[in-house]
Amino acid sequence: MDIGIENGKIVKIAPRIKGRARDVIDAMGRLTSPAFIEPHIHLDKVLTSERVRASESGTLQEAIEILWDAKRKYSVQDVKRRARQIIELEALNGATRLRTHVDVDTIGGLTACRALLELKKNYADIMDVQVIAFPQEGILLDEGAEELMRKAMEMGADVVGGMPHAEMTRELSMKHVDILFDIAREYNADIDAHVDETDDPSSRCMEYMAAKTIENGYQGRVTADHVCALASYDDCHAEKVIRLLKLANITVETNPETNLVVQGRLDTYPKRRGLTRVKELVQSGVNVTYGQDCVSDAFYPFGKADLLQTGFVLSLAAQMTAPSEIEAVFDMITINAAKAMRIIPEYGIQVGKRADLVIIDAANVSDALRLQPDRLWVIKEGRVIAENRSSRKLLRHS
Ligand SMILES: [Zn+2]
């Protein structure tokens, strides 16, 4: 098919479009997809691993504490210098939209938030950035965080983040969720919160959040990240929670790379994988996305902001290896992420939609995940924003 683009929009799709264009790309039949969406990354924390001590336990809690000192020393310049490198990598790897969490707490204050809001403006030509005000240290546990959350929203943060399982008791976790909905309604903002990011089967924030979503008429406006505890519930309770997620139209966002590394750390054997019940959620019709989460920080030493690499890891970790399951994984960073961000009216390869495309040097989705090949062209609003050409050569001597 030819794809005709004018004024940043797709205007025609046909086997052969006649006429002249200012620029013509011959994609040579390569896989062309709507540009990727990175739904979950922490740009304030990226590339900090060299300045912090190594984790002894490898647990989530220790990583959070390791970062306290680094957070105290954040400057706007420092956060921008690190974050911009990852925004550029995400674009080179095929994404034109990205959601980043930013810690909002009494340790680092609003410095990182200010930095990411500035980058959001500076990088609008290659990346639509949404900033999530994220109370990493809890809200009731961190006195003053609630006020900072409201300040972050005033400054221009787009989405309300959360971390209810961090609170001391189940009652306080519920209170945390109530506050999230209060702030979200005050600013008419969506919610994208870390929920039950733990192996603890008694962590039960998800079902309460689903109930509050329905009570507040927030169906379709809430994303729950990680949701690891769902994998540790007994099957009967898990079935109930999955049913509630569907009923409340909540998106579940999974972070396979970090979850594999951070969860299950206190297990001996059998050792849990830490991911939520990805396959069962997909089969139940829950909207599922995945993201990079971390790049070279106290939580995770790797990550190259390449959603095809993360998708490959997810396929392994969630055992989604049948052809239809591989397609489902690819949907998570395209159409499913677009649903979560509520941009479906402008997203996709159809006439009238925004021309955000990635042309991948692969014949099909399975090869895209298997080989993670060059993103030959990345297009945002009709303009080429990135080109990649790797060169390899084999020298035979027989
Ligand atoms: Zn996260």
DSSP annotation of 121: H
**What would the mean pLDDT of 159-180 be, rounded to a whole number?**
98
Whether 197 is a known active-site residue: answer yes
pLDDT at 304: 97
Token pair of 357, please?
């495309």
Cα 29 to averaged position of ligand 1 atoms, centre (Å): 36
pLDDT, tens digit, 9 for 90 and up, residues 181-239: 999 999 999 999 999 999 999 999 999 999 999 999 999 999 999 999 999 999 999 99
Cα 18 to averaged position of ligand 1 atoms, centre (Å): 47
Cα 194 to averaged position of ligand 1 atoms, centre (Å): 6
pLDDT, tens digit, 9 for 90 and up, residues 46-57: 999 988 898 899
Cα 6 to averaged position of ligand 1 atoms, centre (Å): 37
**What would the mean pLDDT of 8-19 be, rounded to a whole number?**
96
CA angle, 180 then 195 then 327, to 5°: 120
DSSP annotation of 109: B
pLDDT, tens digit, 9 for 90 and up, residues 55-97: 899 999 999 999 998 999 999 999 999 999 999 999 999 999 9
The partner residues of 288 in beta bridges, in order of sequence, read: 252
pLDDT bin (cut points 50, 70, 90) of residue 42 is very high
**What would the mean pLDDT of 370-387 be, rounded to a whole number?**
98
**357-360 and 31-34 beta bridge pairing:** antiparallel
What percent of the chain clears pLDDT 70, i.e. is strictly above it? 100
CA angle, 395 then 397 then 398, to 5°: 135
* CA-based max dimension of the chain: 72
Instruction: Give the distance, in angstroms, between the CA of residue 394 and the centroid of all CA atoms in the same chain.
Output: 37
Token pair of 130, please?
């949404």
Cα 340 to averaged position of ligand 1 atoms, centre (Å): 16
pLDDT, tens digit, 9 for 90 and up, residues 88-131: 999 999 999 999 999 999 999 999 999 999 999 999 999 999 99
pLDDT at 51: 87
Cα 188 to averaged position of ligand 1 atoms, centre (Å): 23
Kindly tell me the number of DSSP H helices and DSSP E strands found in the chain: 13, 14
Q: Which of 146, 197, 207, 381 is catalytic?
A: 197
Burial class of 274 by CB neighbour count within 10 A (0 to 12, 13 to 18, 19+): buried
Cα 367 to averaged position of ligand 1 atoms, centre (Å): 28
The pLDDT mean for the chain works out to 97
Cα 370 to averaged position of ligand 1 atoms, centre (Å): 25
Q: Phi/psi of residue 376, each to 5°?
A: -60, -45
pLDDT at 311: 98
pLDDT, tens digit, 9 for 90 and up, residues 235-247: 999 999 999 999 9
Please say whether the beta carbons of 263 and 272 come within 8 A: yes
**What would the mean pLDDT of 291-320 be, rounded to a whole number?**
97
Q: How many CB atoms are closer than 10 A to CB 353?
A: 16
